[in-house]
Structure 1
């Protein structure tokens, strides 16, 4: 089997992520205008339950499939791969069905006792229907990630988003007039249809992929051995992710409650939560489509290199990944720090979102590095380390939310996010350096990109104020400014020798 390169896989996922996020922004802008900040807040309250369901039914199994398939592929044991994927789908669907029944029957209790929002009962019952499909799709995607065949998972992302948007558009006139409870339910219906379409696509792709392959030798692992190998890896991964996801869910659920303790009404607290989680954070994380795709591709790439003891490849992969992530993160910081109001007004027509963007701008490099470093650690088999670090960060965040939000309001929550993210990233980085013996290149990774980002953002700001705004609307002016900012930033990176022609040649060879 032809070995797929890390860069190729990351670029494929990045292209899909770019399309998905652009569509997602169109979707969020449409939804924010349709149901308002309070409606977005209700929708975001459903996400902790969604993430817990995915974590229990799919997260550990999917990552285990990715790693095991990569290892068996490196050893050319193709028969074992087929057996592993069959067992993983059976396990994930079985667990998903149990979770679906639980969510459906306990939806009133979850909504009133945990989320403290009875208007989410209908949404939770609808959400229950898609858990088995979501779990099965994640397992099959793990198969493709393990083979480093990123096209199929990437296409499924795009199809999922298109399906979601189409459902919202077609059903909006029926649901929206019925109130925020039904508006929130409409968003969940769109999400469920997207999960179903994604599952059907990856399932058909898997069937076709098997048919194209030549007959392979019998698996060397029997059913018990395959199941054991999967569970030995999946159980601790799922346990770790469950605890970290549970802590993260507690954070998200606490935010509106503690904002009310600060003195806000229920509607105000839900609205601010909706602005932050449904509007500001998607913008903050938009550039991370590049680093997020990289983190997914890193797991099988590093696992495969480790399986054959290729230390040189591990060093090269880790170094390039950290460097690339720093370039994106530092560039994003200057973008959101210099143009927060313009972005908030041009995209959502809400200046308050711009204030949130400015406050979160400085944490972008840590946000993005956190995902990349986690992918490296998972590829190195250091899941326990990522678990410990995430638990520490979540505990810090929960303590900040509990004690500071009732006193300082939303600023207390922003401090919680910033401090916990910095702590997790630094702990991840320390562990990666320990297990790879990598040397920090602060000048190339941080100082030069920072200088390039400052110079390019100030240049773009000048162009926006003195030329573009006098000729175009704010929305078009910002579109042209982003293009100019990207081009100038890349030029300054070359001038300051943070990237070189050799880097481009390496990228070209690897595509």
Structure 2
């Protein structure tokens, strides 16, 4: 098992995330048709509370471990890696036990006093056992990311998704006979099975291939290159002698871990608190607007369980960038390679623009057809259309946050997230209770908050390392996106007359994507040589691309 390059690691993460998102969409469509928007709404109501608890329990350890392991690989500091893993396991385990007990002891009180629908207790209490599983998974995932070995967490994600889909479908279908609240609890139970399967796979891989003893680290101080992980999978590697070239004391290692983990935790905690408060504020605001509890639950389910998943789908690409950026930039900073940091920033913006511009336009232009075909809920399209223009900024937010964490500006990312979350909740509080606005105000709150947070991240990155964007390259990407949108607008009525609506929409999206890629190649925004750098599929794609004029 050897260390992967930045492009290879990112591509593996993207491929795995794309598979899991596509599987997740199939699962969500089937689940929506099985338990309806009301059942989805019940599950989505309690999920923010779980997210809040998991943010505290994981304590930002995944990001902190990733950064510190990447730095320690440069110097061959095995002792530091061992301490990082030991301390992070200890901290997350203690927190997991505490919060699991709190949820089991006070779950009914939470559901009775925080939610307007008492049926939320069933999915809430069923989700509780997942806390410990995800806490352990976050430590293992951070370790592999620090090694820049992305294949293992990627495979774990696919396993988790497959087991969760099967488990949720079977348990929810069997539980539906007892009532919608039991079906929502079945969704929680299926999630536990999936997370457990993914965690067990990563633990097996850690013990079998990549435990700290099996890392073939460079001998300090003569060689500071990053070494590969031992390739011999059939025999147990000999114990490696612990090396502590930095002379870092245990207390200093703990401090370094906490200095990154705490700001990352608070940054995520802010988002999780806002996420947890959101359904409470929204439900109460909708009731104040004169809607019934059932209608309010359905509206929130449409917003959070249908429109939001479509909006965030492209983050499958940019989240992978963000994950890979933390160890890559941390290693570059530790090695004194400032040019690599600037190059990673430019690459991140360019990739996000190539993906974010066209997807944002598609979501805006075809919001209602998408929601009609996927969910059989055309009214959800209006909610999606409000949020779609902020798509590009939403997709850019993850990579920018990863860059800030990689250059030791995690506290700055936390501050920016706090401002954005506060603005979001304020808008919901002020406007969602207005009868003429209701759920639309919630959609606008997300659009405004995302835009503000991302702009603050851009300013922070610019002040720290500069923020260079190639205006010519960006303008060409934007032009290709506009031409794609015009083409799809012209073709949509034609497709609808010759094909059923669902097939017509699928064909239109495929055609639009093909037109966009051809335009990128013709304008040399991307070239055949660019495609050739992708692992696995790069060379075949490059050969096809060379058939298009100007693409070389």
**Same fold at TM > 0.5:** yes
- The residue aligned with 1:310 is 337
Residues in 1 aligned to 2:83 and 2:415: alpha-carbon distance in whole angstroms = 32
List structure 1 runs of 4+ shifted beyond 6 angstroms.
508-511
1:351 alignment partner, one of 363, 378, 382: 378
TM-superposed deviation, 1:357? 2.1
- The residue aligned with 1:342 is 369
Residues in 1 aligned to 2:524 and 2:389: alpha-carbon distance in whole angstroms = 24
Correspondence 1:441 to 2:441: no
TM-superposed deviation, 1:238? 2.0
Correspondence 1:216 to 2:240: yes
Residues in 2 aligned to 1:510 and 1:69: alpha-carbon distance in whole angstroms = 30
Say whether the 8 Å CA contact 1:7–1:510 is kept in structure 2.
Answer: no
- Counterpart secondary structure, 1:498: coil
Say whether the 8 Å CA contact 1:5–1:510 is kept in structure 2.
Answer: no
- The residue aligned with 1:451 is 479
Alignment deviations for residues 145-166 of structure 1 (CA, whole Å, 9 cap, x no partner): 1011111111111111111111
Structure 1 453/240 Cα, relative in aligned 2: closer, same or farther at 3 Å?
closer
TM-superposed deviation, 1:505? 5.1
Say whether the 8 Å CA contact 2:386–2:444 is kept in structure 1.
Answer: no
- The residue aligned with 2:440 is 411
List gaps (5 residues or longer) in structure 2: 215-229, 231-236, 539-552
Residues in 1 aligned to 2:329 and 2:74: alpha-carbon distance in whole angstroms = 12
Matches within 5 A, 1:297-336: 297-336=324-363
- The residue aligned with 1:76 is 76
Bigger Cα displacement from structure 2, 129-138 vs 355-364: 355-364
Residues in 1 aligned to 2:117 and 2:85: alpha-carbon distance in whole angstroms = 39
Residues in 2 aligned to 1:15 and 1:263: alpha-carbon distance in whole angstroms = 45
TM-superposed deviation, 1:310? 0.5
TM-score normalised by the chain length of structure 1: 0.95
- Counterpart secondary structure, 1:66: helix
Give the superposed CA RMSD: 2.0
TM-superposed deviation, 1:413? 1.4
- Counterpart secondary structure, 2:210: helix
- The residue aligned with 2:296 is 269
TM-superposed deviation, 1:231? 2.6
Bigger Cα displacement from structure 2, 4-13 vs 84-93: 84-93
- The residue aligned with 2:233 is none
- Counterpart secondary structure, 2:148: coil
Correspondence 1:499 to 2:523: no
Matches within 5 A, 1:59-458: 59-210=59-210, 213=230, 214=237, 215-220=239-244, 223-407=250-434, 408-445=437-474, 447-458=475-486
TM-superposed deviation, 1:472? 3.0
Residues in 2 aligned to 1:505 and 1:3: alpha-carbon distance in whole angstroms = 20
TM-score normalised by the chain length of structure 2: 0.88
Q: For this pair of structures, how many residues does the alignment match?
A: 509
Residues in 2 aligned to 1:301 and 1:362: alpha-carbon distance in whole angstroms = 30
Residues in 2 aligned to 1:156 and 1:486: alpha-carbon distance in whole angstroms = 29
Say whether the 8 Å CA contact 1:83–1:219 is kept in structure 2.
Answer: no
Q: Pick the structure with more helix per residue.
A: 1
Alignment deviations for residues 249-296 of structure 1 (CA, whole Å, 9 cap, x no partner): 212331122111112111111101101111111111112211111111
TM-superposed deviation, 1:9? 1.2
Alignment deviations for residues 193-250 of structure 1 (CA, whole Å, 9 cap, x no partner): 1111111111111111236644322142565443333233323332343233213321
Say whether the 8 Å CA contact 1:68–1:146 is kept in structure 2.
Answer: yes
Alignment deviations for residues 134-186 of structure 1 (CA, whole Å, 9 cap, x no partner): 10011100000101111111111111111111112322342001112101101
Residues in 1 aligned to 2:112 and 2:467: alpha-carbon distance in whole angstroms = 50
TM-superposed deviation, 1:117? 2.5
Say whether the 8 Å CA contact 2:100–2:131 is kept in structure 1.
Answer: yes
State the structure with more CA Rg. 2
